[in-house]
Amino acid sequence: MNLTANSFIKFYSSSIGKKVIVAITGLALIGFLLGHMVGNLKIFAGPEKINSYAAWLHSMPLVLWGARIGLLACFFMHIFTTVMLVIQNRRSKGSRYVYQHTNKASGASRTMIWSGIIIICFVIYHILHFTVRFANDYDSSAYIDTMGRHDVYKMLIDGFSWLPASLFYIFSMALLCWHLSHGFSSVFQTLGLRTDKTWGLIKASGYAYSLIIFIGNCSIPVSILAGWLT
Amino acid sequence: MNLTLKVWRQKDSDSKGKMETYVVSDIPEEASFLEMLDIVNNQLIESGGDPITFDHDCREGICGSCSLTINGVPHGKGKGITTCQLHMRKFSDGETIYIEPFRAKPFPILKDLMVDRSSFDRVIESGGYVSVRTGSAVDANSMPIEKDDADTAFDAATCIGCGACVASCKNASAMLFVSAKVKHLNSLPQGAPEKTKRVVNMVNQMDKEGFGNCTNQYECEAVCPKSIKAEFISDLNRQYGTAIVKDAIS
Ligand code: HEM
Ligand code: SF4
Ligand code: FES
């Protein structure tokens, strides 16, 4: 046990070790994003489907809290490590070129920390809005459906009917999509799971995945604002 | 050709450097970039000025000494060439050219455009060798090597240790260089005995020298004069991860 803890510390203090932690936590978050989106798309199947889905999740507190704590741990580890990497990298470069030139690094790859910081703001807002239900009345009796369950459907409709909330949501999803357009394929590079033969496919899958997450998630506020979901 | 050169001048590693402007004329198109600097230096010496210090040796793209960042690109524009292989015909008459040293903290500037790349030597020392049986020479063909492995090892072995990868990287990461060295020796049976030790030691030394962390942006791949592929970096990541897991289990 002690040996493994020691090896982990050694691994984490190396540059590749830190990168691997960023990739694994990123991958866990990528997996969560897909599950979360698929779950939320149940809103299109009507109040019954999404409310029973939410009630089902809440009927397993151990699983729910296990997942929440795991995700939060991944999120913090991802942030802590990337911030450390950014600081170390600035230090390693030392001086900057007078004449700056970029050959092929993508815009997304050069702004990961900025898209990341906006994602942090969004996640805090999003959790306060729909999970903690802070400064709103989504916990009141108005949000209990006829079966006595929490009325997630009504909460989403009301939550996204407020234009600024929807706009911030769409903006954040765009940045998340931007973050993933680099991050997804990057995971395969970092974990040593790519060759020149598979690279094209991996990159294309990354773009496709990012786009699916963006379109899937944004379809909800857009449909609510457009009045297709009431 | 008439050119305006903006050149980084720095007295020594402790001084603060700055860009100086030189207006030069009658540079032949067929001159190499280094020959162009030779001409400028001759003129500087004749007029009693201080010539521009820069590194060079073979001038045919094999030693890896030349190290200039030209208009923000290490070794200048042109795929798969070193600074000494770059010719003035690639520039246009009247152009302004920025010439800077390879910038990275682990490559301290010694003077003007010359940097100290001995950090690379220490990375090589930490694992870039193979154990050989001394005594009578081994028969050349006693060890059969798969053609694919030989080709991969050779592709990796073409790295000349110039440091352009580090210079182009905004994190001053040396991953392309280290991955090439590890791939070269770890692909061959001669390198097999130290395989695990090699990857761990070289990565540790790379970190110790203060090179940054790779952010998978592949600027290195774009400027490498030997077209070393970033695919090798991915392989280095895997080899390092495997080595650490092996170490933790045993
Ligand atoms: C749902 C949230 C997030 C997901 C799915 C995600 C996903 C990823 C993925 C897959 C990578 C690529 C890992 C690799 O290079 O192998 C990555 C890199 C990165 N992430 Fe995130 N991320 C998220 C949130 C954040 C946040 C909140 C930050 C804030 C600091 C952040 C900052 C970064 C940075 C700076 C990198 C680049 C690291 C490097 O290349 O060294 N990410 N992210
Ligand atoms: S990998 Fe390419 S750029 Fe880096 S040191 Fe080797 S030859 Fe130079
Ligand atoms: S001087 Fe030897 S590679 Fe350029």
Angle between helices A196-226 and A15-40 (to 10 degrees): 40
pLDDT at A68 over 70: yes
Split into its structural domains, chain B has a count of 2
- List all residues whose CB is within 6 A of at least one atom of ligand 1: A 19, 22-23, 26, 29-30, 33, 78-79, 82-83, 85-86, 112-113, 116-117, 119-120, 179, 183-184, 186-187, 190; B 213, 215-216
The domain spanning residue B132 has which CATH number?
A: 1.10.1060.10
> What would the mean pLDDT of A186-212 be, rounded to a whole number?
97
ipTM: 0.93
Structure tokens at A122: 């969004």
Q: Are B104 and B219 within one domain?
A: no
Res A71: pLDDT: 98
pLDDT at A208 over 70: yes
Q: Are B133 and B100 within one domain?
A: no
Ligand nearest to the CA of A172: 1
Q: Report chain A residues whose CB lies below 8 A from the CB of B186.
A: none
Could you report the per-residue pLDDT of B49-95, keeping only the tens digit for each? Answer: 999 999 999 999 999 999 999 999 999 999 999 999 999 999 999 99
pTM for this predicted structure: 0.95
Q: Do A105 and B104 touch (CB under 8 A)?
A: no
Taking the C-alpha atoms of residue B159 and residue B183, their distance in angstroms, rounded to an integer, is 11
Res B141: pLDDT: 83
Residue A104 phi, psi dihedral angles, 5° rounding:
-145, 0
Pocket test for ligand 3, best of B55, B75, B81, B82 (most atoms within 8 A of CB): B82
Taking the C-alpha atoms of residue B51 and residue B113, their distance in angstroms, rounded to an integer, is 11
Q: Are B167 and B88 within one domain?
A: no
Q: Are B39 and B103 within one domain?
A: yes
Taking the C-alpha atoms of residue B18 and residue B100, their distance in angstroms, rounded to an integer, is 10
Alpha carbon of residue A215 to chain centroid: 14
User: Domain span at residue B129?
Assistant: 117-249
| The dihedral sign for the CA sequence B176, B181, B187, B192 | negative
B122 membership: H or E segment, kind and range: helix B118-127
Place of tokens 């989504």: A138
Q: Which 3 state secondary structure label does DSSP give B7? A: strand
The domain spanning residue B29 has which CATH number?
A: 3.10.20.30
> What would the mean pLDDT of B184-203 be, rounded to a whole number?
95
Angle between helices A112-126 and A61-93 (to 10 degrees): 150
**Ligand 3 within 6 A of CB of B81:** no
Sort strands B68-70 and B114-115 into parallel, antiparallel or unpaired.
Answer: unpaired
Taking the C-alpha atoms of residue B147 and residue A55, their distance in angstroms, rounded to an integer, is 61
Structure tokens at A212: 């699916």
Res B176: pLDDT: 98
From B111, B134, B169, the end of a domain falls on B111
